[in-house]
Structure 1
């Protein structure tokens, strides 16, 4: 195989960025975006977090919520102060951090792997072709912000280890603390940094690093200073519906750590990325071991700590992407030195990675809808001050018009961890009877509202049909309106 793959990397990078740009207009809104945006809205308006979307959950989430991704949500509240209540404005935050992260790691690759001049371009191509990163870069969630602080943590500690300058140790501790303040899973990066220092026998510096990281990370508890706040936080956190009893055994971190490899092979998206990573590690191990020992150690420690802290939730695979992208980029940058077998194997897995992730990206693009116009139509005949249970995108039209917007996800959270309702159609009707929103809006688009469609297809409902205490009052092309008549 005589052609030089590196001649095409600029085209790959431009194509990846073009796909990302095309994906931006009218992206669909998911539950997590709405949830975190609501947290930011209430902090902006009231000075504390709450989640009316999750109305009906125990421990008063809809009244006050003590845990969220705090530094990220506070930035969101600041953005609302500046630009008003707008999802587009909120999405500028992850977009900004995605751009900063891309700039930092391409610059890092250019400096640290100068003998492979195309490696920095490959980093950009791998990042933006990877569908999880493409999604996260314009999604109001904290992953790009968290990855940025995590990589800065690594970079500062690496500089400290190479130069012994204390300022880099202090900056590493600062980045570690900001990671925790951004998202509690930032403890994976903070812990990886501590283990990295210990692996180089930097015992005293690791203590200094830990103190700084914990001091900055303690900002996470900024809203727990009042009487009873800490106890209320612990009650809510220990009964978080995203967790279960199995997460609180003494051996749970060990069990989760031993299962961490499953995160790398959760779906075709992760599998294609992990296989390309594997061929890069095999094909360029000597070079990576010589040129990127510190990065490899930090990457391994991040895997171990994140594995111990969390379930194998696929979304957190993204936290590994900066290191995966660099490893793959270094490997691809070495293309001219490969023998024929390694070239064929690398090309096979690279094509698989690009095709697989492009399919996921196409699915994201194909979901585009003008949510603002659509939800305005949904609420046109509903009186202000009404409570509405429906698609979470309603939040961005309704919350400032005094509508109380709730989510079907609250029911799923109930049945996941609490015994009050069965995960059945009858259980859902009982939940609706107990929480009594004034109106239901049933979306016919599955990915907008799986919780109801798990039991019944709303497209088959007609005006006059009833669901418990609710009656169908309007049927539209892709949504149905019901009103409480009890």
Structure 2
């Protein structure tokens, strides 16, 4: 019997976590991905296809870009068409999907969980650092997670899944992959889940349906030349280039998956909570009496396994794909545990505290732009080609400017293609036909830029705090 005191504490913690989450949204600064991916949606809204002025010089990206999160970018484009190009409008898209995920979570798990357990589940998910960060960043992880939850809802909720629900599950797994290729983890997990049950044909059909979501990645490829450009852009992408791929690498990729779980304090706390729950689960043989815990654990493990193979690198943000299922598993183990409940609650409390502290430090409100950058932006005429840091896109595009991200120069320098000198930086800018360059501290340090005329460029503005310099090309 749950005491009134326990219920009151749970509701208090849930309210605290919810308030902390809302607080983290206030004045959330621009994340580089807001601008990076937001520009793709802007051009899709304007042209019906994606290009990138920000990536001017990257294998024809200024004419057409093929490497982007297809369905996600198009959703952002529809938002822009309906409203305007605004960072907070774009940030609202994953936030809306998070709300849908909580509604779906309630429908998914209410059959298995008590009201108190559902509250615990919402607490664990809503305070997790990666969820808090990605829910208000224009990235596709939260939408992909939502469609993955839909796929799981139709696949694992019942012990014996009807054929029609298996195919519906495959459809949503395909939608997840159409939003981000990493969504293939749900296709792989679904196929393996069915094959473990010896449903060989249904697993094969599941994979075929899911494959159509992968094919959506090629929706804007209209010729062999387009396909060659896609291959060039994809294989040279900064997150992919240099990563070893092959059969011999697969065991190593699986073994390295633990890096995603022990990266920073929030992930470490999450992993310790999961390990504690696993110990209690096996020690008390909970899966023998409560089959839903076994299905959740199996599906979450398969998602994680597929992620280790399919996803590039070990970025911690991809951990969210399995979070709803692992968190539900943790809560159910706590609900059914006889002797290990207190251990889970203690480690869970440390998990919540760790994430709340980390979130408070990580998501502090700040102005979108300094007064210096806003002033500099007004000195640049509409139609000008501007080299600036990625977030400037949200200032430059509404002013009619074409913004190239200085990350291009950084990547060229790291690749030893561009020497780290002011002369080479501005010479390359001239080749890119850049009219104005907004130079910030990082650029000055990397390319040893001084406030003086360099080649065809002269300085015309220096911020009072010295945070930004504006250079103009002399014609």
Same fold per superposition (TM over 0.5): yes
Q: 172-181 or 150-159: which moved more?
A: 150-159
Aligned-residue CA RMSD (Å): 2.7
- 1:427-457 alpha-carbon deviations (Å, 9 max, x no partner): x76244212333333446xxxxxx5376489
Name the structure 1 match of 2:84: 84
Q: 240-249 or 269-278: which moved more?
A: 240-249
Question: Which of these residues, 444, 467, 471, is aligned with residue 459 of structure 2?
Answer: 471
Query: In the aligned structure 2, how far is the partner of 1:253 from the partner of 1:472?
Result: 53
CA contact (8 A) 2:440 2:469 kept: no
Name the structure 2 match of 1:273: 270
- TM-score under structure 2 normalisation? 0.89
Question: Which of these residues, 452, 460, 464, is aligned with residue 443 of structure 2?
Answer: 452
CA contact (8 A) 1:176 1:217 kept: no
Name the structure 2 match of 1:303: 304
Query: In the aligned structure 2, how far is the partner of 1:440 from the partner of 1:182?
Result: 34
Counterpart check, 1:169 vs 2:175: no
CA contact (8 A) 1:177 1:190 kept: yes
CA contact (8 A) 2:34 2:91 kept: no
Name the structure 1 match of 2:286: 287
Query: In the aligned structure 2, how far is the partner of 1:409 from the partner of 1:178?
Result: 31
Query: In the aligned structure 2, how far is the partner of 1:130 from the partner of 1:234?
Result: 36
Name the structure 1 match of 2:40: 39
- 1:342-389 alpha-carbon deviations (Å, 9 max, x no partner): 62x434422332222122211233242244977533312222222222
CA contact (8 A) 2:91 2:138 kept: yes
Name the structure 2 match of 1:107: 107
Counterpart check, 1:356 vs 2:321: no
Q: Does the C-alpha gap of structure 1 residues 353 and 470 become closer, same or farther in structure 2, counting only changes over 3 Å?
A: farther
Query: In the aligned structure 2, how far is the partner of 1:63 from the partner of 1:111?
Result: 52
Q: Does the C-alpha gap of structure 1 residues 373 and 145 become closer, same or farther in structure 2, counting only changes over 3 Å?
A: farther
Q: Does the C-alpha gap of structure 1 residues 203 and 372 become closer, same or farther in structure 2, counting only changes over 3 Å?
A: farther
Offset, 1:397: 2.3
CA contact (8 A) 1:279 1:346 kept: yes
Query: In the aligned structure 2, how far is the partner of 1:409 from the partner of 1:432?
Result: 14
Name the structure 2 match of 1:69: 69
Question: Which SS does the other structure have where 1:471 is aligned?
Answer: strand
Name the structure 1 match of 2:468: 480
Question: Which of these residues, 200, 203, 206, is aligned with residue 197 of structure 2?
Answer: 200
Counterpart check, 1:229 vs 2:226: yes
Counterpart check, 1:328 vs 2:344: no
Q: 434-443 or 186-195: which moved more?
A: 434-443
Query: In the aligned structure 2, how far is the partner of 1:413 from the partner of 1:471?
Result: 24
Query: In the aligned structure 2, how far is the partner of 1:360 from the partner of 1:249?
Result: 37
Unaligned ranges ≥5, structure 2:
none
Counterpart check, 1:182 vs 2:179: yes
Offset, 1:175: 0.8
Offset, 1:178: 0.5
Question: Which SS does the other structure have where 1:53 is aligned?
Answer: coil
Q: Write the mapping of 1:361-400 to structure 2, written as runs, cut at 5 A.
A: 361-371=359-369, 375-400=373-398
Unaligned ranges ≥5, structure 1:
445-450
Name the structure 2 match of 1:261: 258
Name the structure 2 match of 1:448: none
Q: Does the C-alpha gap of structure 1 residues 332 and 10 become closer, same or farther in structure 2, counting only changes over 3 Å?
A: farther
- TM-score under structure 1 normalisation? 0.87
Offset, 1:265: 0.4
Name the structure 2 match of 1:434: 428
CA contact (8 A) 1:106 1:121 kept: no
Offset, 1:227: 4.7
Name the structure 1 match of 2:29: 28
Counterpart check, 1:49 vs 2:50: yes
Q: Does the C-alpha gap of structure 1 residues 169 and 478 become closer, same or farther in structure 2, counting only changes over 3 Å?
A: farther
Query: In the aligned structure 2, how far is the partner of 1:378 from the partner of 1:281?
Result: 56
